[in-house]
Chains A and B, each alone.
Chain A
Amino acid sequence: MDKKLVTLNINGKSVQANVHKKDTLLFVLREELGLKGAKYGCGTGDCGACKVIIDGEAKNACVTPAIRCEGKIITTIEGIGNTENPHPIQEAFVETHAVQCGFCTPGMVVSAKALLDRNSKPTREEIREALKNNICRCTGYEKIVDAIELAASKEVFDAEQM
């Protein structure tokens, strides 16, 4: 009754979902589409565990109504890389020991990706600023900032090799 069929552009693919008007994008990703990489940490837009990129910006999927995402380009952690083919940011997170319990990590990687897409050479201060809506309780953020800095340097390095 309150549901509507919507078409979403997720990770370069067009997918359909039957969405209740109150469903959040996080709910639809996790429960309807089986994309479980984005996590529930607070449901109020305050922790960043559920980050996805919408039209180039890192957004909290837990406070984004799915119904309003039609026509937008959505990238989730699954669209950034996977264990077979990880993204340099993900490699850097592992390399610098930026991962502990890992629950915040997908959201951190998503925020990092959105940042590096618009600023490929951020300063440490700019990295910290870009993470200010992402909570991590394990790492104290130090190694996460290291990871993003390393990823930024690697991406340039890769480009130079080509």
Chain B
Amino acid sequence: MLNKCENTPNASSSTSATCYQEQLLQDLEVSPSGEKLDYVGRSHKIDLGWQKATGEAVYLDDMEFHNLLHGRILRSNIAHGKIKSIDTSEAEKMPGVHAVVTYKNTSQVVFNGLVRSIDDDWPATEQIFSATIRQYGQPIAAVAADTVRQADEALKAITVDYEQLEPILDLEDAYSNRIKLYPEGNRLPETLKETGDLEQVFSQADNIIESKLDTPMIHHLSMETHVCVAHWDNEDKLTVWCPHQGVFGAQIVLSKIFQKPYADIRVIRTLMGGAFGVKVGIIAEPICAELSRLTKRPVKIRFDRKESMIGSWTRHSARLYLRAAIKDGRITGLDISEYLNSGPHCGGTHFIPVAQAGKLFKLYKFDAMRFHGMPVLTNTPLQGAMRGFGSPQLFTAIELLIDKIARELNEDPVQIREQYLFKPYDENPLSPEDVMGNCRSIDCLLEGAEAFSWQDELPVEGGYLYGKGVGVGLHGNGVAPHAPDLTGMTLYLHEDGSYVLSTGICDHGGGSYMLLAQIVGEILKVKPESIRIKKPDTENTPYDLGAYGSRNTWVGGNCAVKVANKMKDKLLQHAAWYFDTTPDQIEITHGSFTNSIDSETVSIRKLLNKVLYEKKERLIVSEYFSSQQNAGSYGAHFALVRIEKASGKVEVVRYLAAADVGKAINPKLVEGQLEGGIQMGLGYALSEEILLDEQGVPTNANLKRYHVFTADEMPKAIELKLIEKYEDYGPFGAKSIGEAATVPVASAIVNAISNALGGEVFEKIPIHKEEILERINKR
């Protein structure tokens, strides 16, 4: 394998991350029990890497379907109102058109597109189509035609007459119920969590420091836009292909909408071109299904980019008010109130504050803390799960406040944080049963600061201002204790020794399948690359809750350990039978078994054929794993920014992320998650925001005007430091990284900008260069 430290040209100008990591690899080539690790801890190449690099990988839009029709959606051009009348008669007569659907001829079941169990009684307001308009871009009608062009032509022939109402866009305005989206009002279930005596702490404070932060709606921007194919066949069975993060959840929702038994609905996950949370819910699937129900032909809907931006989900925008109590130069209390935007429907938004509270009380130890989350319904685009599920909003706000306090108390940003961060195995003040585990936030902070040379003087350069910033944060591992954190796997061992791992877990593209194969391979001493993965399909793979909540490594990895150990036990028993000895005398090696008494060996192939024909048994084992613990994956990120005085333009010249990953099962995949998370966080801090005009109409729903960081704008030096201290409940000690990777980024950047500008306070992200210039000019 290539050792990047030596082989990458200009290693010094690239990441030095790899060098830290090579060092760590040498230290960690054994498991905690002292066994040598063959596959875990090594950077095996991602599943389907060659196919992806050559363009041969097949995504859903690349698949061929016999007799396929193309569906296109007509969307509302107002954000709030009613359809007075809609006429599709002309469209129905257009060439190539096979079906037109509206609220008049489709299921009117009211649902929540995100429920994960048939019994979930989450606020449900969604319908496939409705005569009431609650967001710009809401589907009004859809057409299935022989070609996309014909479908688009037919959409133009549909006439709609709207009654327009004033849209509700501001979060606090929505909370006030001045205009009601629904008769019951705009408020969703709230979360209020408190530790210590907040009243007392604030009443005794010497000083109270307050802050506010508005965070934007951002676009997930999975490069593959939403796409789905549905086929309602002439046996009345519905099959849906989609790059979905949770096929079993999709099956449940579709069953509810169409009032069909699970057995009549099959959802097949196709190769995913990125997700980041946007492919958890039901978006285009029911429309596609309705078009197919009427035509009995497979129908494909592929969103264009604008539809993905405003017709799927965005990161929840939020407004946070914070206040901190200061007593004798110490922070004693923190009080946070958050208004959280859900858009026109609930989805899983009411869980965001629950999840935020679950993490908030695991970062800093203050005498008293309170968190009040108030999700509201508005006429903005729909807000949904996105990488970090509330953590980026919350921890950005907290970390900006901590820096503000540090400035007021004249303390160093690193030192002030160190005093309050939780230590490994501390008690969780909110719920002691929700363990902190081996939380290594202080290691991230201090080792990160040292590697970043935090104490060094800032560079001085004419025409520029330099600033440095730090941000700390965490994300969880799975969804326990808030939901049954369940996944199942079946491992098949064929008689020639080859394995198939069947899983309902969905790899979003970050490499979870290789990680599962490494774990199984490690335990069974078989090359990970040789293990075939059977991918999510409600008809053919075991259940999984869904690939969200940073579950894949934590829950999936543990299930892989469990199923591989079960297989190992079986193999040892069979080998013991073969040698007429006991399982503890058998040694398992690559491809064979050895009887330690006389060193006799038998190949796996010979053993399994004997087992099949003489014991009449095949090796197929299944296991379910339900996680009870939810450790934190911590990170401390550091940024050095350079601001051009003449323009206000920010350049991040150096960036370092220290991540508490427990154990990197595949270090290169971990690095990839961190680097991608940094790109997303940079946009959150500096450029990304879906903008609406006062009527709720998006004004930048395309990639020309909605700017994400490109290669030329990324920091020239990104350094990564993996803190691998082993988490007791993690598979091989590992914790999640995918979501945690992006949590501290925006705060590190904004704090660095504030530092460069002599302590300027920002109450909104993203921060554009025009605003920075204004601040520079005011100074």
What residues of chain A have their CB less than 8 Å away from a CB belonging to chain B? 20, 30, 36-44, 46-47, 49, 76-78, 80-83, 86, 90-91, 93-97, 99-106, 109, 124-125, 127-129, 131-146, 149-150, 152-153
**B674 (CB) vs chain A CBs: closest residue:** A140
Give me 17 A-to-B residue pairs in the complex whose CB atoms sit less than 8 angstroms apart, sorted by A's number. A41-B223, A41-B305, A46-B702, A82-B56, A83-B51, A83-B54, A90-B50, A96-B2, A97-B671, A101-B223, A125-B716, A128-B712, A137-B221, A140-B672, A142-B718, A144-B711, A145-B711
CB neighbours of A103 from chain B (8 A): 59, 222-224, 273-274, 509
Asked if B522 is at the interface (CB within 8 A of a chain A CB), the reply is: no
A142 and B702 within 8 A (CB):
no
Q: Which one of B9-17, B178-186, B245-253, B758-766 is at the A interface?
A: B9-17
The distance in angstroms between the C-alpha atoms of A48 and B304, with both chains bound, is 15
Whole-angstrom distance between the Cβ of B400 and the nearest chain A Cβ: 23
Q: How far is the CB of A12 from chain B (nearest CB, A)?
A: 16
Q: Complex Cα distance A133/B708, Å?
A: 11
Q: Of B41-49, B195-203, B362-370, which stretch is located at the interface?
A: B41-49
Q: Is B190 an interface residue (CB 8 A)?
A: no
Q: Which residues of A contact B221 (CB under 8 A)?
A: 135, 137
The chain B residue with its CB closest to the CB of A121 is: B9
Nearest-Cβ distance from residue A103 to partner chain B, whole angstroms: 3
Residues of A within 8 A of B225 (CB): 40-41
Contact between A96 and B55, CB atoms less than 8 A apart: no
Contact call B50/A86, Cβ cutoff below 8 A: yes
B704–A46 touching, CB < 8 Å: yes
Using Cβ atoms and an 8 Å threshold, which residues of chain A touch B57?
102
Task: From the candidates A43, A93, A106, A125, name the one contacting B304 in the complex (CB within 8 A).
Answer: A43
CA distance A80 to B56 in the complex (A): 12
B8 contact set on A, CB distance < 8 A: 96, 146, 149-150
Contacts of B676 in A (CB 8 A): 100, 136-140
B184: min CB distance to chain A, Å:
37
A86 touches which of B53, B149, B672 (Cβ 8 Å): B53
Interchain CB contact (< 8 A) of B52 among A96, A102, A125, A146 = A102
- Please determine whether A146 and B14 come into contact, CB atoms closer than 8 angstroms: yes
Among A42, A132, A144, point to the contact of B305 (Cβ < 8 A).
A42
Taking a contact as CB atoms under 8 Å apart, the answer to whether B305 and A136 are in contact is no
Task: Please measure, in the bound complex, the distance between the C-alpha atom of A135 and the C-alpha atom of B703, giving whole angstroms.
Answer: 10
Output the nearest chain A residue to B18 by Cβ-Cβ distance. A146
Comparing B136-144, B341-349, B677-685, B729-737, the segment that makes contact with chain A is: B677-685
**Contact between A101 and B222, CB atoms less than 8 A apart:** yes
Provide the B697-718 mask, 1 if CB < 8 A to any CB of A, else 0.
0000011100010111110101
Give the contacts of B26-75 with A (CB-CB under 8 A): 43, 45-46, 48-59, 61-62
B509 touches A102 (CB 8 A): yes
For the complex of A and B, the 7 pairs showing the least CB-CB separation, nearest first, are A101-B509, A37-B55, A102-B52, A140-B675, A103-B273, A77-B55, A46-B703
Instruction: Check A131/B510 contact, CB under 8 A, given A38-B55, A46-B704, A137-B221.
Output: no
A140–B710 CA distance with the chains assembled, in angstroms: 8
Q: Are A39 and B710 in contact (CB under 8 A)?
A: no
Chain B residues lying within 8 Å of A47, measured Cβ to Cβ, are: 223, 305, 703
> Given A47-B703, A97-B668, A97-B669, do A138 and B274 touch, yes or no (CB 8 Å)?
yes
Pairwise interchain contact A134-B509, C-beta atoms closer than 8 A: no
Pick the residue among B14, B50, B669 that contacts A94 (CB under 8 A).
Answer: B50
The reply to whether the CB of B302 lies closer than 8 angstroms to some CB of chain A is yes
CB distance from A101 to the nearest CB of B (A): 2
| CA of A152 to CA of B8, assembled, Å | 11
- Would B55 and A137 count as touching, CB distance under 8 A? no
A94 touches B714 (CB 8 A): no
Bound complex: CA of A70 vs CA of B61, how far in Å?
Answer: 26
Chain A residue numbers with a CB within 8 Å of B13 are 124
Contact present for A137 and B679 (CB under 8 Å): yes
A93 touches B53 (CB 8 A): yes
Q: Closest CB-CB distance, A136 to chain B, in whole Å?
A: 7
Q: A101-B510, A132-B711 are in contact. List 20 more A-B contacts (CB 8 A).
A: A37-B54, A38-B55, A39-B223, A46-B702, A46-B703, A93-B49, A97-B669, A100-B509, A101-B273, A101-B275, A103-B273, A105-B55, A127-B711, A136-B223, A136-B676, A137-B679, A141-B675, A142-B15, A146-B14, A149-B10
Q: In the complex, which residue of chain A has the Cβ closest to the Cβ of B305?
A: A42
Q: Does A43 lie within 8 Å of B305, measured CB to CB?
A: yes
Closest residue of A by beta carbon distance from B2: A95
> Which single residue of chain A is at the shortest CB-CB distance from B223?
A103
Chain A hits for B543, CB < 8 A:
none
Say whether A94 contacts B10, CB under 8 Å.
Answer: no
- The CA-CA distance from A153 to B7 in the complex, in Å, is 10
A19 to B59, CA, bound (A): 25
Which residue of the partner chain, among A93, A96, A102, A125, contacts B4 with CB atoms under 8 Å? A96
